[in-house]
Amino acid sequence: MRGKFVAGNWKMNTDHASGLALAKSLVDGIRADAAISAGLASGKLRTAVCPPFPYLAAVAGAIQGSKVELGAQNCYMEKPGAFTGEVAASMLKDIGCGLVVLGHSERRHKMGETDAQIKAKLVAAQAAGLEVILCLGETLAERQAEKTFSVLAEQIAGALGGLPVETLAKLVIAYEPVWAIGTGVNASPAQAQEAHAFIRKDLAKHFGQAAADKMIIQYGGSLTADNAREILSQPDVDGGLVGGASLDAKKFLPILQAAVA
Ligand code: PGA
């Protein structure tokens, strides 16, 4: 039985003080909520925050002793060395990250990241001991052209093709349709379920059914307290990657509540 995993992607938001305050209010809110606390204690629920690089260490301190996990939003594929401006996976591990988000659509589309780069980063991150949240998703034009499944299959093959099945043990997939990210237009529960079921089937093609059945596949794209319950109750939706609603504990906590409901 797969549990649920809800992660907050803070993107390029907060400052030092507000990031710390957000982390603290999340930890306090979780402590005060019996259902969320029980879910986290039993392993049926995982949660994480992914702050910007400069605040990772401070947030690591703020969540210490809680069940909230720490993730970064990107890393570089090389070991430490002459790569000005980049951050190595081992550095993230060193300051307390257990997770890193890779292949987010903003990196694919705004920074031009390719599947080959994402794959190299994924391999480097796992080699450094990080678990990877790998984001996949089609644009609106691709969906309208009925290319959703072929795009997802290409992104899966591009990031994971040829890698050993053990890769899946330290991997979470996030299905994030680009047209739903930050737009207020979420995928319908049926659209999310259809895409998630396809992703699981495609993972089974690469890695076998048993490994695919264990995979946590998060939904991301305008996930909120209002739509979380219905989306997260779909059989192949195993949690969420939350952007906007992760920046306010009052909006994020109800999503955690929906995940354990
Ligand atoms: P959103 O972002 O929840 O603000 O739509 C989700 C994401 O990009 O991870």
Note whether residue 36 is domain-resident. no
The number of CA neighbours under 13 Å toward the Cβ of 106 is 13
Mean pLDDT of 62-70: 98
Asked if 16 is an active-site residue, the reply is: no
Q: How far apart are CA 187 and CA 198, in angstroms?
A: 15
pLDDT digits (tens, 9 = 90+) for 206-233: 999 999 999 999 999 999 999 999 999 9
Note whether residue 185 is domain-resident. yes
Q: What percent of the chain has pLDDT over 90?
A: 100
Note whether residue 215 is domain-resident. yes
Nearest Cα residue to atom 6 of ligand 1: 243
pLDDT digits (tens, 9 = 90+) for 146-186: 999 999 999 999 999 999 999 999 999 999 999 999 999 99
Note whether residue 57 is domain-resident. no
The total number of structural domains in the chain stands at: 1
Q: Which two tokens stand for residue 146?
A: 């009925």
Our answer on whether the CB atom of 242 is closer than 6 Å to any ligand 1 atom is: yes
Asked if 104 is an active-site residue, the reply is: yes
Which atom from ligand 1 is nearest to the alpha carbon of 181? 5
Q: Which two tokens stand for residue 109?
A: 């589309």
Q: Furthest-apart CA pair in the chain: how many Å?
A: 48
Query: What is the predicted pLDDT for the residue at 63?
Result: 98
Q: How far apart are CA 129 and CA 132, in angstroms?
A: 10
Query: What is the predicted pLDDT for the residue at 10?
Result: 98
Q: Which two tokens stand for residue 45?
A: 């629920």
Q: How far apart are CA 109 and CA 183, in angstroms?
A: 16
The number of CA neighbours under 13 Å toward the Cβ of 197 is 8
Nearest Cα residue to atom 7 of ligand 1: 243
Query: Do residues 70 and 56 touch, judged by C-beta distance below 8 A?
Result: yes
Q: What is the CATH number of the domain that holds 101?
A: 3.20.20.70
The number of CA neighbours under 13 Å toward the Cβ of 150 is 6
Note whether residue 168 is domain-resident. yes
Supply the DSSP symbol for 23: H
Report the chain's C-alpha Rg in angstroms: 17
Q: How confident is the model at residue 25 (pLDDT cuts 50, 70, 90)?
A: very high
Note whether residue 184 is domain-resident. yes
Which domain range does residue 137 map to? 75-252
pLDDT digits (tens, 9 = 90+) for 95-154: 999 999 999 999 999 999 999 999 999 999 999 999 999 999 999 999 999 999 999 999
Give the Å distance between the CA of 13 and the centre of ligand 1. Answer: 12
Note whether residue 30 is domain-resident. no
Q: 109: part of which helix (H) or strand (E)? A: helix 105-110
Name the one residue in this structure whose structure tokens are 């997939």: 173
Has this prediction a pTM greater than 0.95?
yes
Query: What is the predicted pLDDT for the residue at 1?
Result: 78
- Say which of 113, 138, 142, 176 is annotated catalytic: 176
Kindly provide the residue ranges of all beta strands, DSSP E only, lying in 113-160, ordered along the sequence: 131-136
b vs e for 177-193, b when ≥16 Cβ sit within 10 Å of the residue's Cβ?
bbbbbeeeebbebebbb
Note whether residue 160 is domain-resident. yes
Query: What is the predicted pLDDT for the residue at 151?
Result: 98
pLDDT digits (tens, 9 = 90+) for 93-106: 999 999 999 999 99
